[in-house]
Amino acid sequence: MLLRGKTANRLTLQTGIWGRRSVPQSVSKIFFASKCKLHLTSWSRLLISKHMIREKTKSLVHSKCQSAPLKRVAKLFAGHPFRGRIEHDPEGTISVVQLKNVDPVLGVNEKRLPKVVPTGRRRPTFLEEGDILFVNRGMRFFGALVDKPLEKAVAAPHFFIIKANPALVRPDYLAWFLNGKQAQRYYGQCAAGTALPHITRKTLEALPVPVPSLERQALIAKVYQCGLQEKILTERIVEQRELLLSEILDAASQEKK
């Protein structure tokens, strides 16, 4: 049985894949029964235009402000030294953040951090909320903001720990800048090594950082967070649409003539 008229037109507008043709009734039932958690009609309410974010950020950053080397607005520390491979120890008393636990968009994933027993004479430097973990080697250099408290966690050796001076720069603003195009160009020009590119501590400390007022930094960080949220929502909506489309096509292929 086929649907025509207003019902078919309604489904045409919502799916956008059937054109002006009539739609199988079973497919319409599947479509309306599924009730995707993220409705496509809410797209404009959930997402902020990428163009608006880009232009807003440009206007905020390119206003006249002084720049300073990173070492003047933040302190850098090396990650905790480990001998050999880091392996989980059920008797461990501290957690270790590794490369697989960080992401420039999602930040630090505190789930399933390996536990280890501290060795050596060096006292562990535990990560604090507001710290930035900078990946200093590999094909991609970026900073991941620690936006929540971590219980007795240290950073692996392939990180630099950046602690922003709150009187001069906000951690969320600094995290944005470290991942921005200007900083990325700097890394590309100054990275050492070919097989495994890396950024030295001296090079990172010399990175010029624009330092606008704290109020302007807060605005920039807020726009940046909106952009990250948009990216996450976009990926979720794409996944939902792919799932829904797959169900519709599967149902259409099994429809009896």
Phi and psi angles of residue 144, each rounded to the nearest 5 degrees, phi first: -120, 125
In which domain, by residue range, is 124 found? Answer: 71-198
Question: Does residue 91 sit within a domain?
Answer: yes
**Amino acid sitting at position 120:** G
17 alpha-carbon distance from chain centroid: 32
Arithmetic mean of pLDDT, 33-51: 48
**Does 102 map to a domain?**
yes
Q: Is residue 219 part of a domain?
A: no
Pairing of strands 23-24, 2-3: antiparallel
| 186 within a domain of the structure (yes/no) | yes
pTM of the model: 0.69
Beta bridge partners of 209: 68
Give the span between the Cα atoms of 110 and 108, in whole angstroms: 6
* pLDDT > 90: percent of the chain: 44
Q: Is residue 20 part of a domain?
A: no
The pLDDT-based confidence of 30 (bands split at 50, 70, 90) is very low
d(CA 9, CA 19) in angstroms, rounded, equals 9
CA atoms 77, 80, 81, 86: torsion sign: negative
Distance CA 52, CA 214 (A): 22
pLDDT, residue 105, reads 84
Cα–Cα distance for residue pair 250/190, rounded to 1 Å? 52
Whole-number average pLDDT of the chain: 80
Q: What is the mean pLDDT of residues 53-58?
A: 58
Asked if the structure places residue 34 within a domain, the reply is no
Counted domains in the chain: 1
Residue 14 resides in a domain: no
Mean pLDDT of 82-88: 79
Contact 240, 36 (CB under 8 A): yes
Q: CATH number for the domain including 165? A: 3.90.220.20
Instruction: Evaluate whether residue 56 is within a structural domain.
Output: no
